[in-house]
Structure 1
Amino acid sequence: MTALRRWTLQVVRRDGRRLRSLRISRGRLLVGAVGTIVVLFGLGFLGGLLAASRTESNRVVQLETELAQLRSETARMNELAGRLNEIETEFGLLQGAVTAGRPAESPAVNVVLRGRGEIRSRPAAETATPAWPLTQRGFITRHFGSRPADSREGHTGLDIAVPTGSYVRAIQAGQVEEAGEDPIYGKFVRIAHADGLTSLYGHNAWLFATTGDAVERLEVIALTGNTGRSSAPHLHLELARNGSLMDPLSLVADHSGPGNTGAPAERQPE
């Protein structure tokens, strides 16, 4: 029989008076080494889990902070929109008093903001005719059907240049079919109206309306911007009836903003 290999470990005190010998077999040595490796591996694994858990916890805290900031920003935007709505209402009343020589019964502009309750004012002769989608004059920079030299397709809507943050209004009462962000339209809102009419408002900086919302005629649904495929701040208005695109200028009732004389918006060369 082959003799088992053994190792002897001797421990000697510094003064040399005491000697202790420990006999270690090859099997015990291997078991100890494997055990040590397993323990070290386990400690490393637990350390990795702890680090991952700590990273995930930090990420959750960061997301919660960002969410709180977004909620705070939304609240500030709603507050600002409400204040601007009050200013426009007061301006409409003042304008009516100046032009007619008596207090106006209703302002020229009917602005509705989501979450502000009932409409503050409504023109007495309001009809279902699609209205101008902005509360200011703006400049038409590109017409429906226009086609750049490098494109084979005509323009699908009407581009109206206005400063970033201008009010975008629903041209007619309806229900929001879709509100979100698109690579081309940027932040957009699409509304379904009566008689198969749909309207799309693109390149916005901020959306007030969400999918499924019921909106009133002239309700503020967004703030203009420069998102999506856009080279400057403007509103892209796109109309379709039963899926067929149509010229917005053939339907919108008023091409002027509040405080204007009612003249059509100026049109720039394309």
Structure 2
Amino acid sequence: MMRLQDWTLQFVRRDGHGFRTLRLGTAQVLLTVSGSILAIVAVGVLLGVSIAGRSEAARVAELEARLAVLVAERTRVNDLAGRLIELEEGFGLLQDAVTEGRPAAPPPANIVGAGTRAVPSPPALEGATPAWPLTQRGFITRTFGSRPEASGEGHTGLDIAVPTGSYVRAIQAGVVEEAGEDPVYGKFLRIAHADGLTSLYGHNSWLFVGAGDQVERLEVIALTGNTGRSSAPHLHLELARSGALLDPLTLVADHSVRGGARARTDTEPK
């Protein structure tokens, strides 16, 4: 049977004038080495657990941040979806109100002067005063007869600046003579009224009536836009009687509303 030997450790001073002897049994050495190994392993395990915990915490924080972003995006999408539904419902109500059962298809283009439909005589106005052609506040940017600095050509109507999509109304009852698209007026309508009066509505983004349709006074006939020869959204209103151009402000608004003044917004002009 092999006998376990003892271990002797001597500690000598640097000057050589003294030393100390330490005797260790084999069992003590083994216990010391084993304890050191176990301590090193334990420290390694604790260090690995700490690193893994920190990595997991960082991962959790990253996932929580991404979740917050996704929740915010979902809320925004839900808000947009709700707004879209409201707009669709509003457009449906507008369509029902102004088209009287006509399909909401774009008005036929290039039908001006086609001569394919006979235009009946306009109905009697029964003394009704021409109404203001818009349902919301507008700003007059050019008056009848005004001339831009770069041109000597007088302005043929009244320009009223309003946002795209504003409601355009017929100033009097009548019959649509022309409806279509023109390089200058863009999408436009021309309505024949009683006593030889005609009204033209230019630069629209959408037309709700076509040639030959009868319209009532204050009926919504179009949505304003920026089509044709136009630099900003507005309505161009042009009036004529028996072929002679008229100043719209003499019929549909107070004479003092000129030169960029705020346009009348009353339903009935004074």
- Output one character per residue of 1:92-120: Cα deviation in whole Å (capped at 9) or x when no partner: xxxxxxxxxxxxxxxxxxxx612169xxx
The aligned residue for residue 113 of structure 1 is: 98
Normalised by the size of structure 2, how large is the TM-score? 0.52
Deviation at 1:83, TM superposition (A): 2.7
For the residues of structure 1 that align with 2:175 and 2:88, how far apart are their CA atoms?
21
Residue identity matched to 1:180: G
- Output one character per residue of 1:215-234: Cα deviation in whole Å (capped at 9) or x when no partner: 00000000000000000000
Q: Percent identity?
A: 75
Are 1:157 and 2:157 an aligned pair?
yes
5 Å-filtered alignment, 1:178-189, equals 178-189=178-189
DSSP-derived class of the 1:152 partner: coil
For the residues of structure 2 that align with 1:263 and 1:145, how far apart are their CA atoms?
22
The aligned residue for residue 30 of structure 2 is: none
The aligned residue for residue 257 of structure 1 is: 265
Question: Which consecutive residues of structure 2, in runs of 5 or more, have no partner in the other structure?
Answer: 1-85, 103-125, 255-262
The aligned residue for residue 101 of structure 1 is: none
The aligned residue for residue 99 of structure 1 is: none
The aligned residue for residue 198 of structure 1 is: 198
Structure with the greater alpha carbon radius of gyration:
2
Deviation at 1:152, TM superposition (A): 1.8
For the residues of structure 2 that align with 1:227 and 1:166, how far apart are their CA atoms?
14
The aligned residue for residue 237 of structure 1 is: 237
- Output one character per residue of 1:179-230: Cα deviation in whole Å (capped at 9) or x when no partner: 0000000000000000000000000000001000000000000000000000
* Distance 1:77-1:248 versus aligned 2 partners, 3 A rule: farther
Are 1:247 and 2:232 an aligned pair?
no
DSSP-derived class of the 2:129 partner: coil
For the residues of structure 1 that align with 2:253 and 2:172, how far apart are their CA atoms?
11
More displaced 10-residue stretch of structure 1: 246-255 or 77-86: 77-86
The aligned residue for residue 222 of structure 1 is: 222
Deviation at 1:80, TM superposition (A): 3.5
For the residues of structure 1 that align with 2:91 and 2:220, how far apart are their CA atoms?
9
Q: Is the 8 A contact 2:253 2:264 kept in 1?
A: no
For the residues of structure 1 that align with 2:211 and 2:87, how far apart are their CA atoms?
19
Deviating beyond 2 angstroms after TM superposition, the runs of 4 or more aligned structure 1 residues are 76-86, 253-259
The aligned residue for residue 31 of structure 1 is: none
The aligned residue for residue 9 of structure 2 is: none
5 Å-filtered alignment, 1:8-23, equals none
Deviation at 1:78, TM superposition (A): 9.3
Deviation at 1:79, TM superposition (A): 6.0
* Distance 1:190-1:78 versus aligned 2 partners, 3 A rule: farther
The aligned residue for residue 142 of structure 2 is: 142
> How many residue pairs are counted as aligned between the two chains?
154
For the residues of structure 2 that align with 1:198 and 1:173, how far apart are their CA atoms?
11
Are 1:80 and 2:90 an aligned pair?
yes
Q: Is the 8 A contact 2:204 2:227 kept in 1?
A: yes
Deviation at 1:84, TM superposition (A): 4.9
DSSP-derived class of the 2:90 partner: helix
For the residues of structure 1 that align with 2:218 and 2:138, how far apart are their CA atoms?
16
For the residues of structure 1 that align with 2:232 and 2:241, how far apart are their CA atoms?
28
Question: Which consecutive residues of structure 1, in runs of 5 or more, have no partner in the other structure?
Answer: 1-75, 87-111, 118-125, 265-270
For the residues of structure 2 that align with 1:263 and 1:193, how far apart are their CA atoms?
18
Deviation at 1:257, TM superposition (A): 2.6
* Distance 1:79-1:212 versus aligned 2 partners, 3 A rule: farther
Q: Is the 8 A contact 1:129 1:253 kept in 2?
A: no
